[in-house]
Structure 1
Amino acid sequence: MNANALSMNARGQARRAARSRTMDVGARAGFVARGVIYLLVGLLALRIAFSDGGGEQADRGGAISEIAEKPFGSVLLWALGVALAGMALWRLSEALFGQAGPDGHKAGKRAMAAGRFLFYAFVSYSVLSYAAGDKGSGSGSSDRQTDDVTARALEWTGGQWIVGIAGAAVAGAGLWMAYRALARKYHKHLKMSEMTKKTRQAVDILGVFGGTVRGAVFATAGGFAVAAAVQHEPGRAKGMDDTLRSFTETPAGPWLLAFIALGLAAFGLFSWANARYRKV
């Protein structure tokens, strides 16, 4: 067998591994884990909406801390971290071999899958490090981390442009998420034919509401980063927690944050629907 045939055989085996039962289970476990995080962030934001918030963080770090305080919290964190690793590996397989569907091999989709792989790999590492005893990993304040990163970036040559472009990219991604949710683009990724009529209606409510709210939160955070760049003030940039708290400063007050919190929780439930019906 020549080298070209061996290479093709190796690629074929890799593709089969990427579409294996193990990868399927890993991807679905990852959607369950993502749903848990968004549900907890929504719950924390709801608490903050109608109280002073205390020391709670309505972000991923706050969700990790919330889990850690529960009975068997360490076990749950290990399970969460492993599930997120499964999501990361599935996204890596999409980047290498393409997504499910007729247009899954497009370069743009594979590039997005690569970005998602890096994100979920980082989140998985943070959760597993926290579960292993590194309490400074994963549970840190997203606001403090955002301030620190923004301050360092603004000190670089062309830092304002870098922060501004990054903020605009996050805002654009948020608007793109909201558009896709409103247009129900997620339909092509789900096994809609396997759902009953009531299930389809429920999934659409969760997908449209949750996805639109999630996009709005990202767009708002990106807008704060752009403001930080324009005004050269690192404190203008906000992490997830401060972004959510900013909604209480609108005329709608805490009610808007409560609405946003329900939307994030809805997205968590939508993630669970993906765990069941996603085409992997």
Structure 2
Amino acid sequence: MTWLPTGYYFSVDNPADLVRTNNAVQVLGRVGMLFYGAVHVLVAWLALQIVLGDGAQSDSKGALAEIASTTIGPVLLWTVAIGLFLFALWQYAEAASGFRYIPEKRKRVGKRVGAGARATTAVLIGVGAIKIVTGKGGTNTTGEQQELTARVLALPYGQWLVGAVAVGILVTAAVIFHKGVKRSFTKDLDMSELPDGTQRWVKRIGRIGWIGKGVAYGVISMLVGLAAITANPEESGGMDKALHTVADQPYGAALLILIALGLAAFGVYCFAAAKAHRA
């Protein structure tokens, strides 16, 4: 057991501690977080295109497809994939042994679960980028999710399983939303070296971002829940269908703009957190 200057400790016998405290992993993981944030900003931009009637696919795969359409698309996709994998490595190490600065065990476990979820999301997006650049994957996320939902619904107690997934997404949405409202995300940041004005800016943009992302996840949970209730896989969907569903509602354009701004704010928050996140 070795004590760090900060007063926290790590075990030389724990590989996760060795990975988590490695300087290269810290630096490269934070660089990867910039790509994680950039994907959110691009999804927000695609969401705004829905308001303009573009009909673009507004989720992570839509964002990757947008990148692929550029002149240097393949190079950018490989760069994004590598960056996301580095971010995932850092977050998996955090999930295994991080957040030692949180004294309450229950909250610390919750933080680690969240880090694991972020890492898995980053891996999935990174794999999606590689599939697109190698021509082995499509970009129709909604169709893939509906096909998966149909398979689960066909299982014994399939509706209950899909319903359980909906509840899980709803709980996740509530946690994310609450994190934004209470600004508890600041506990994961060390902003002592930032000017007061910058600290206020990070808190505001982070609050908007976490709340916006929570609302988006809440809509996804409603779609999955509706698929469970009706036993109709076509009712389900991910971020893309959720945003299109919002756009189809009364005052949907205004709501969609607010959600898009929230997702963009979350992406910008990731840029700041890449610098200020506690080690």
TM-score, length-normalised on structure 1? 0.88
Count of residues in correspondence between the two structures: 268
Aligned equivalent of 2:57: 57
How far 1:76 moved relative to its partner?
A: 1.4
Are 2:274 and 1:279 aligned? no
For the 8 Å contact 2:145–2:236, the answer to whether it is kept is: yes
Give the drift of 1:114: 3.3
- Runs of at least 5 residues in structure 2 that lack an aligned partner in the other structure: 1-9
CA contact (8 A) 1:145 1:239 kept: no
The alpha-carbon deviation at position 26 of structure 1 amounts to 2.2
Q: Which moved more, 1:155-164 or 1:241-250?
A: 241-250
Aligned-pair distance for 1:82? 0.7
Q: Distance in 1 between matches of 2:11 and 2:172?
A: 38
RMSD: 2.1
Cα contact 1:45–1:261 (8 A) shared by 2: yes
Q: Which residue of 2 aligns with 1:4?
A: none
Kindly indicate whether the alpha-carbon contact (under 8 Å) linking 1:217 and 1:243 is maintained by their aligned counterparts in 2.
Answer: yes
* Mapped contact 1:100–1:279 kept (Cα < 8 A): no
Instruction: Select between 121-130 and 22-31 the one with higher mean Cα deviation.
Output: 121-130
Q: Percent identity?
A: 30
Pairwise mapping of residues 117-136 of structure 1 onto structure 2 (< 5 A)? Answer: 117-131=119-133, 133-136=134-137
For residues 253 and 102 of structure 1, the distance between their equivalents in structure 2, rounded to whole angstroms, comes to 40
Task: Classify 1:153/1:111 alpha carbon distance in 2 versus 1 (closer, same or farther; 3 Å).
Answer: same
TM normalised by structure 2 equals 0.89
**2:176: which partner in 1?**
177
Instruction: Determine if contact 2:61/2:128 at 8 Å carries over to the other structure.
Output: no
Pick closer, same or farther for the CA change 1:112–1:212 going to 2, 3 Å: closer
Instruction: Note the C-alpha offset of 1:67.
Output: 0.9
Q: What are the equivalent positions in structure 2 for 1:172-211 lying under 5 Å apart? A: 172-211=171-210
User: Any conservation in 2 of the 1:147–1:238 contact (CA below 8 Å)?
Assistant: yes
Supply the distance in 2 between the matched residues of 1:219 and 1:209 (Cα, whole angstroms).
15
For residue 4 of structure 2, what is the aligned residue in structure 1? none
In the alignment, which residue of structure 1 is the partner of 2:161?
162
Measured against aligned partners, the alpha-carbon deviations of 1:91-123 in whole angstroms (never above 9, x if no partner) come to 221233233524487444434433433332222
Q: Shift in Å at residue 244 of structure 1?
A: 0.3
Unmatched 5+ residue regions in structure 1?
1-7
CA contact (8 A) 2:50 2:247 kept: no
How big is the shift at 1:217? 0.5
Which whole-Å CA distance do the structure 2 matches of 1:13 and 1:266 have between them?
35
Cα pair distance change 1:205/1:102, threshold 3 Å: closer
Q: Secondary structure at the match of 1:16?
A: helix
Stretch deviating more after TM superposition (247-256 or 169-178): 247-256
Query: Kindly tell me: are residues 100 and 125 of structure 1, through their superposed partners in 2, closer, same or farther at Cα, counting changes over 3 Å?
Result: farther
* Mapping 1:1-280, distance limit 5 Å: 11=13, 15-51=17-53, 53-54=54-55, 56-103=56-103, 106-131=108-133, 133-136=134-137, 139-280=138-279
Structure 1 letter corresponding to 2:84? L
What's the offset of the Cα at 1:128? 2.6
Output one character per residue of 1:27-78: Cα deviation in whole Å (capped at 9) or x when no partner: 2122101111111111111111122x24x20011110011112232221111
What amino acid is aligned across from residue 15 of structure 1 in structure 2?
D
Contact 1:88–1:117 (CA under 8 A) maintained in structure 2: yes
Change (3 A) 1:274 1:154: same
Query: Whole-Å Cα distance in 2 between the matches of residues 97 and 19 of structure 1?
Result: 10
What one-letter code is carried by the residue in structure 1 that aligns with 2:130?
L
Give distance in 2, aligned partners of 1:271 and 1:175: 20
- Amino acid across the alignment from 2:182: A
